[in-house]
Chains A and B, each alone.
Chain A
Amino acid sequence: MIPAPFDYVAAESTTHALDLLDSLGEDAKLLAGGHSLLPMMKLRLATPAALIDIGRLTELIGIRSDGDELVIGAATPHAAVAGSDLVRADAPLLAHSAAQVGDPQIRHRGTIGGSLAHADPAADLPMALVALGGRVDLLSQDGTRSVAADDFFTGFFETSLEPGELIASVRVPRQPGAAWGYQKFVRRANDWAIVGAAAINGRIALANMGPTPLRARAAEQALADGASPAEAAELAAEGTEPGEDVHADRDYRRHLARVLTRRALENRT
């Protein structure tokens, strides 16, 4: 219930944050909204020696358009993404996804960068980013690099973030008017998805069907080959090895993946 002791420093800028990451090393973690990290620390599943608070760096907060992409600062809270007129117009799947995270209080604090860095395969935003084919801008003392969503989530709660890197911003394609669907299957409000599915533009992403958010590639291929949503969705679970827990065993998860994919392809939320 109480985190193990740690040192804390509020970064004054992203440059400062990067300096601190460098000097404090791998025992330091970045803190933005803290609503992925602090719950882990309170259960002592994470025990960083130091926290570098980037939560109030204005250069990491905000939403703007940049050509054919929307750019969202990594420390932008979910509530801001969910309520943004710009996101709702140009990437409504993302706005909807952000509005599904946890509950209102959690959405006031949790950030898009924090959620993506945490990389919970059952979470909303990783699935949404994969569905949208977005990318993350990673900043380090060596400069910036951009990683596509398909490449960013590398394993169970693992990303391609290197030591000394932070997520500066998240980019998603602007697709006003594109049909989209989003399904988050829960047993009880404010749960993580037992299984989730998001679909837009021929891309289908699944949550909690494996160690990372997954593309339902067989279903996507079927769609591209002219299959109907129902037919394509039959292939949604192909190649997946979902985990088992109190809510769902493997068979039931695979079944849900098929049903939810069909519903997402029918543009249902």
Chain B
Amino acid sequence: MQVEITVNGQQRSDDVEPRLLLVHYLREVCGLRAANVGCDTTSCGACTVLMKGADEGGTGRGGTSVKSCTVLAVQANGQQVTTAEGLAKKGAGEGGEGLHPVQAAFRQEHGLQCGFCTPGMVMAAVGLLSENPHPTEAEVREGLEGNFCRCTGYHNIVRAVLAAASSGNGAAEVGNAAAGEERAEVGA
């Protein structure tokens, strides 16, 4: 079936089978492999992305966080999806490397070790902050209960989210950088 999905600001048209999971659409069809598959039971959140309908407004809000392993690509037809690759605002963000404020905070607070849970964790955090811009520590922990991490013990992840929240740098906003384009200076 044909699906029209806007991924990180770029409109796409693809032919997919109905059972193609959104996470695999992003990874295999779009080549965006930051979102990972970590479980079979919608438990771990490593696949978390933001999704919103074209009719949903909101300035710079990327949508709501969803587990892309439990969304069919066909269900995302006509929707806008933002992945970790598409998160950074043009030129803004702490550290000047094109990192989104939440990504920058994760770096600053050492909120990642092996990195496997990180893209999903970051997207969940952006989703959390868009709904609750000033969470308490308990609210951060509850807000991330759908995202598992084995390496960090969550301590620095929580610190990163709280730091991003208090940075006032638009931690809940999402730029429309097309994946790859604005990335020249990052990770070189």
Contact = CB atoms under 8 A, between A and B. Distances in A.
Nearest to B64: A108
A7 B18 contact: yes
A106 B146 contact: yes
A38 B72 contact: yes
B1 A106 contact: no
Interface in B21-48: 21, 37, 40-43, 45, 48
Contacts of B137: none
Contacts of B66: 105, 108-109
Interface in A11-60: 31, 34-35, 38-39, 42-43, 51, 53, 55-56
Interface residues of A, number: 30
B65 A108 contact: yes
Contacts of B19: 2-6
A191 to B, nearest CB: 10
Given A51-B18, A189-B142, A106 B40 contact: no
A168 to B, nearest CB: 20
B14 interface: no
B62 interface: no
Interface in B42-73: 42-43, 45, 48, 53, 64-67, 69-72
B70 A38 contact: yes
A105 B41 contact: no
Contact of A104 (B21, B70, B127): B127
B72 A109 contact: no
B128 A104 contact: yes
Contacts of B18: 5-8, 51
Contacts of A34: 70-72, 75
B43 to A, nearest CB: 7
Contacts of A105: 45, 48, 65-67, 124, 127, 146
A43 B40 CA distance: 7
Interface of B: 1, 17-19, 21, 37, 40-43, 45, 48, 53, 64-67, 69-72, 74-75, 77, 124, 127-128, 131, 142-143, 145-147
The 3 tightest CB contacts between A and B, nearest first, are: A103-B146, A8-B18, A189-B145
Interface of A: 1-8, 10, 31, 34-35, 38-39, 42-43, 51, 53, 55-56, 79, 102-106, 108-109, 189-190
